[in-house]
Amino acid sequence: MSDQKQSPVEVLKLESNYLRGNIAEELAADTDCFTHDTIQILKHYGTYQQDDRDARAAKRADGQSGKVYIMMVRSKIPGGKLTSRQLLAQLDLADELGNSTLRITSRQGLQLHGVLKANLQATIRRINEIQLSTLGACGDVNRNVMCCPGPYVGSIYQETQALADRLAAHLAPRTPAHHEIWLSDPDSGEKTLVGGSDPEEVEPIYGRVYMPRKFKIGIGFPFDNCIDIYTHDLGFMAVVRDGRIVGYNVLVGGGMGTTPSAAKTFPALAQRMAFVTPDRAVDVATAVVKVQRDFGNREDRKIARLKYLVHRWGLEQFKAKVEEYFGSPLADPEPEDVTAFNDHIGWDEQGDGKWFYGLHVENGRIKDDETTQLKTAIREICTRFEPGIRLTAHAALLFTGIDPGDRGEIEAILRRHGVKLSEEISTVRRWSMACVALPTCGLALAESERVLPDLIDQLEVELAKLGLENEPFTVRMTGCPNGCARPYNADIGLVGKTRGKYTVFVGGRLLGTRLNFIYRDLVPLEEVVPTLVPLLTYFRQDRTPGETFGDFCARKGLDDLTAWAETNAHS
């Protein structure tokens, strides 16, 4: 560590003995929660300690006090690719050790909620037994590597998935403490002491203190930006010519999180830095990671992401430092850039005689309720047909490798369990997404996942009145400004500011290549749709041919939109 003043988390990581800390001792203790310091180290193993605020309120109503502690456990799944057997095992864990639901994340992972501390070790061990891992799904390391999940037969899709797998393996934490704490038999006496080892031997990329903050990588195509490549710390945009990937445009410095009370923080889209051939992509990624490791801010976690280093230095200086770590100059980016976005919903041919089906999963939550038995339907499909599984960046699920003759039966299973097919989902709902928020996320200031479906119900009615029901635009909602559902580049972003009130952003775009701007602040939930209706009315009346809603709002700007809405408020 440098002479720079270090944040408390940096000190914890340094003293943690390569992420060992007191985790083993606290796991063995007969308590319902972990201590503050251990919580910080636990994140690197894909788990957060949370307080169920609904259960806490119910407890208080019964005259009891105190928090209701639970754990969230996240699996890291490069490119969102897994098997039916693995998905079924995760559903079993949700039923046996979680709150009976499984959530697809906006980064192509899976989350279990409601796991008790006493069941945490068993949960993580069982996830490892099905050849998945939680290591690095959270914490100050490279998180899940995303890539286009399309299972199309052809070298370019297989090549990007292979790159995601290589990057995930190469940048995974290597501390033996992972095996010691979570995977070894607690009764065997097996113990691995990692203290005092050479940092380059234990963690050749991260060293003793790992990264200053989380780090995110995505791999995409110009003709399909389904992973929102501009929102990542590091992006690899495939340059495809004559049907093959000749290299990647390298993007750096994206990130959604912000703290409104701290003017020094901001959301950012990545900048195009360089072009690299496929054989050197991992080397460039390593160089970028090491530059951030060595020069990212370790004093103030609010400004510790890579985007702040790029902003502080400027792209030219940052590129020069990456070239120094890489060992040679890097070419300028090729002209290719994002032109389209595919959510992969519905039926599509893979190119090998088989099909895949993209199933819309509202806000990624797999569950059964009174009207829809989604979890049961997925269980039946995975058990009977054993399709491949892919998770998308919009928290949808793809069943892959489907024989043409099985398409009708898969649709019948979904209908039988009350699950709407892709053609029955409205356009606005299809392109909407919310973060988890209340009651479990400790950062949530307002509702998100639980209220977005009703908000979309209201919006569907208004769009139909305006004849805009087939207009595609993104609506993304978060319970706080951290931006887990990527609200800041959406056509419409709804960000929780305080309980029941939201900041309304407009002017982003479906392609994900432009930040939006604040249209209204502190809008009560019940007034969100009435606040948007005048803008949608204006859009219908004054759009140019082919113009999208986000492009329209960006062209008109805040003052024009505000003036029109105020003038026509009661029309």
Active site residues: 74, 143, 214, 216, 435, 441, 480, 484
- What are the strands of the beta sheet with 110-115, ordered from one edge? 47-51, 69-75, 110-115, 102-104, 365-366
- What are the strands of the beta sheet with 492-498, ordered from one edge? 432-434, 475-478, 492-498, 501-506, 517-524
Handedness of CA 533, 538, 541, 544 (dihedral sign): negative
CB 70 within 8 A of CB 52: yes
441-462 residues labelled b (16+ CB within 10 A) or e (exposed): bebbbbbbbbbbeebbeebbeb
Short-list 148, 330, 138, CA closest to 252: 330
Phi, psi of 306 (to 5 degrees): -60, -35
State the DSSP H helix or E strand holding residue 271, giving kind and residue range, or none if neither. strand 271-276
Coil/strand/helix, residue 248: strand
Overall residue count recorded for the chain in this entry: 571
CB 460 within 8 A of CB 426: yes
Give the span between the Cα atoms of 299 and 303, in whole angstroms.
9
CB 86 within 8 A of CB 159: no
